[in-house]
Structure formats: C-alpha cells, structure tokens
C-alpha cells in the first residue's frame, strides 16, 4: 500500500484530479491531504466533496480551514462561504473533526510546522496548522530561522502551508515542503511513500488573481449592510466609488444613495417625534410621560426632544445602524 501525500490544493479541483491520475491512485492507496483544501481556487466545494467521500483518505487541519471554523473570515473565506451556500454549516461541521497531524511508520504529516523536541501529540495546534499565533510563537522560539532548520526528529516531517515556489523544499529524511503554489499558477505536488517520489502537475492558470476580481461584487452584496455603522458604510462607499470594476462602482453608488435616503428621513422623523412627545405629555403630564415612553424603540429620542435638543445628528448617533434606524422609522409609521 502506498501513501499519496498532496500539498495545499486551495480549490484546484482539476489539478487534483490530473495529479491523482498521474500517480495512478488506487483504492488501496491512502490519500493524505495536508490541509488548506479550500479558498483562492475556483472549485473548493468539488475538492471538499471528493476528499470527504473518498474512502482511505486523511485530511489535515490547515490554517484556512481553521479560519472558517473560527469565523475569522477574510476575502477568500467570504468567497467560499458563498460558494457553499446552504451547505456551509455542513462544511463547518466536517472540518471541526479534522486532525492536526497524522503519523505513520515512515513520516509525520502536518499542515505547517512542528516545534523541535516536542512529541507530535503534545505540539501546539496553532503551530501544526500555521495560524498567525502559531507562526508568532515559532518566531519567538527561533528568531529569523525557519523551523525546518531546527528540526532534529527521527522521522521526516512532510508539510505544506509555506509556498516553496515550483520545486519542493527537500532536506532528505528530514523535511519535505510540498506547497508549490497551485492556486497562484504554480504546481500541485504529491509525495509518494514509501519511496518519497515527487509527482507534480502544472496549474492551468493563476486562479487567485482571477477569483479576486470575479467575486468582488457578490461578496459585497452578501455583506450584512444593515448591521454596519453609518461611518463604516460611508467609508466603504467612498473607497470603492472609483473602482475599476464598473459593476462594483455602480453597486456602491446605489448603496451610498440608499444610506442618504434613509438618513434624509430625519426631516420627517423629528416633527413626528415632537408630535408623539406632545401627545404623551398631554395624556400623562411632563413628569410621568417617561414611564409610558420607556418601552418604545424611540424612547431616547423622545427624552432628547423633551430637552429641545433633538437633531438629525443625534438621530444618526443614537440609531447608529440601518437596522436600528429602520426599526424606529417603521414604528413611527414613516414610509421609506
């Protein structure tokens, strides 16, 4: 039985299939993915489905899987969340069970790194998967030296994570770095054990450069705009209004107008709030109206109106997100 170890796939499904055809993967072969199976490439869902459903397959936790699991989403994770759509929760559940290392008689497999002199079962997860805190920890331990220069263990370590250009980083019987940048137009690399044979396929294109542009608009459309503070919406619109992507520029122009239209309702809301205040005072008196108003969504605005200091700026400061603004406008029966 062979062990076929594959470096960072990053959604490069076509390259994965070509690579496995090239190594002539059989049902008896154990397939080991070193993690980072998703993000940046075009077919993360296909890669996930293939690896999840193939028997005799081990997938390790990479820093990109960990980002999804912890919901520390940057742009590439936001794209994949959209790609999975209503299957995203299923994906999160599956990656929550991924191991941080795998060991055979021949080698130790991790996504990113190991700390020298520490048993594999006692290694920090952050180090094994290469998340930011793990990399900072190793920097404190080793300074500018890379961990591969420090490793003196009995078994070779096979890892990905760190792109080593087109050719693997090999210190024979010590370390084998096989992330060769497939999603950036490099190569997808496999290491075949027990012979430690290298097999590669060239990526069809630089997928990440293409994906960056392709997903700009869908990612922006999917953001929770109603929960953002006005200042953030304004800043995002200002930054992107001159985008080279005309669809994206148009989207932000529309979003700016949407925000302006909502905020313009202050001119209608203030007289309405003053009217509500006058009615409450007439019914309950100036000393008791607050008890009647306290459960209203716009209670703070009525209290401010009572001190003759209600301004559009105060409305915007108090109702700091579109969600809060829309709730109050609805309760005031103002059309928008």
Domains defined along the chain, listed by start? 3-209 (3.60.21.10), 223-264 (no CATH), 266-331 (no CATH)
Predicted TM-score of the model (pTM): 0.91
In the prediction, which pLDDT does 240 show?
87
pLDDT tens string 180-224: 999 999 999 999 999 999 999 999 999 999 999 999 999 999 999
User: Are 251 and 237 contacting, i.e. CB atoms less than 8 angstroms apart?
Assistant: no
The helix/strand/coil state of 175 is strand
In the prediction, which pLDDT does 8 show?
98
| pLDDT above 90 for 336 | no
For the packed helices 299-306 and 266-284, what is the interaxial angle rounded to 10 degrees? 80
Return the number of other C-beta atoms located less than 10 Å from residue 322's C-beta. Answer: 21
CA distance 203 to 184: 8
When pLDDT is averaged across residues 133-137 and rounded to a whole number, the result is 97
Q: CA nearest 137: which of 114, 160, 119, 120?
A: 114
| pLDDT above 90 for 242 | no
Q: CA nearest 29: which of 51, 57, 7, 6?
A: 57
Q: How many CA atoms lie within 13 A of 105 on its CB side?
A: 3
pLDDT tens string 143-153: 989 999 999 99
Return the number of other C-beta atoms located less than 10 Å from residue 164's C-beta. Answer: 20
238 pLDDT band, cuts 50/70/90, is very high
Q: What Cα–Cα distance (Å) separates residue 108 from each residue in 208, 226, 331? A: 30, 47, 62
Give kind and range of the element (H or E) at residue 22.
helix 13-22
pLDDT tens string 106-127: 999 999 999 999 999 999 999 9
| pLDDT above 90 for 141 | yes
pLDDT tens string 13-68: 999 999 999 999 999 999 999 999 999 999 999 999 999 999 999 999 999 999 99
| pLDDT above 90 for 325 | yes
For the packed helices 246-264 and 266-284, what is the interaxial angle rounded to 10 degrees? 30
Q: CA nearest 67: which of 42, 86, 44, 49?
A: 44
CA dihedral of 88, 127, 173, 171, whole degrees rounded to 10: 100
The helix/strand/coil state of 42 is coil
Provide the β-strand partners of residue 158: 109, 176
């Amino acid at each position: 039985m062979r062990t076929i170890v594959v470096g960072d796939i990053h959604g490069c499904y076509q390259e994965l299939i070509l690579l496995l055809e090239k190594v002539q993967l059989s049902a008896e072969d154990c397939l080991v993915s070193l993690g980072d199976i998703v993000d940046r490439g075009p077919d993360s869902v296909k890669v996930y489905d293939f690896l999840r459903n193939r028997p005799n397959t081990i997938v390790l936790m990479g820093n990109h899987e960990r980002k999804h699991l912890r919901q520390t989403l940057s742009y590439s994770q936001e794209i994949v969340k959209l790609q999975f759509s209503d299957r995203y929760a299923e994906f999160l559940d599956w990656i929550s069970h991924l191991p941080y290392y795998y060991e055979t008689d021949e080698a130790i497999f991790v996504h990113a790194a190991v700390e020298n002199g520490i048993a594999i079962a006692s290694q920090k997860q952050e180090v094994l998967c290469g998340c930011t805190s793990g990399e900072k920890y190793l920097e404190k331990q080793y300074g500018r030296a890379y961990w591969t220069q420090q490793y003196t263990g009995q078994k070779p370590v096979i890892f990905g994570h760190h792109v080593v250009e087109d050719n693997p980083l090999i210190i024979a019987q010590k370390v084998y770095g096989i992330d060769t940048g497939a999603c950036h137009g490099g190569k997808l690399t496999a290491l075949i054990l027990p012979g430690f044979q290298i097999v590669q396929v060239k990526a069809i294109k630089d997928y990440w450069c293409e994906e960056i542009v392709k997903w700009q608009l869908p990612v922006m459309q999917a953001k929770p705009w109603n929960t953002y503070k006005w200042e953030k919406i304004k800043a995002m619109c200002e930054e992107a209004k001159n985008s080279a992507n005309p669809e994206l520029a148009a989207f932000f122009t529309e979003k700016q107008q949407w925000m302006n239209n909502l905020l313009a309702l202050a001119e209608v809301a203030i007289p309405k709030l003053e009217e509500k205040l006058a009615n409450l005072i007439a019914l309950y008196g100036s000393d008791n109206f607050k008890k009647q108003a306290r459960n209203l969504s716009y209670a703070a605005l009525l209290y401010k109106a009572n001190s003759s200091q209600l301004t559009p700026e105060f409305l915007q400061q108090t109702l700091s997100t579109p969600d809060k603004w829309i709730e109050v406008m609805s309760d005031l029966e103002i059309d928008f």
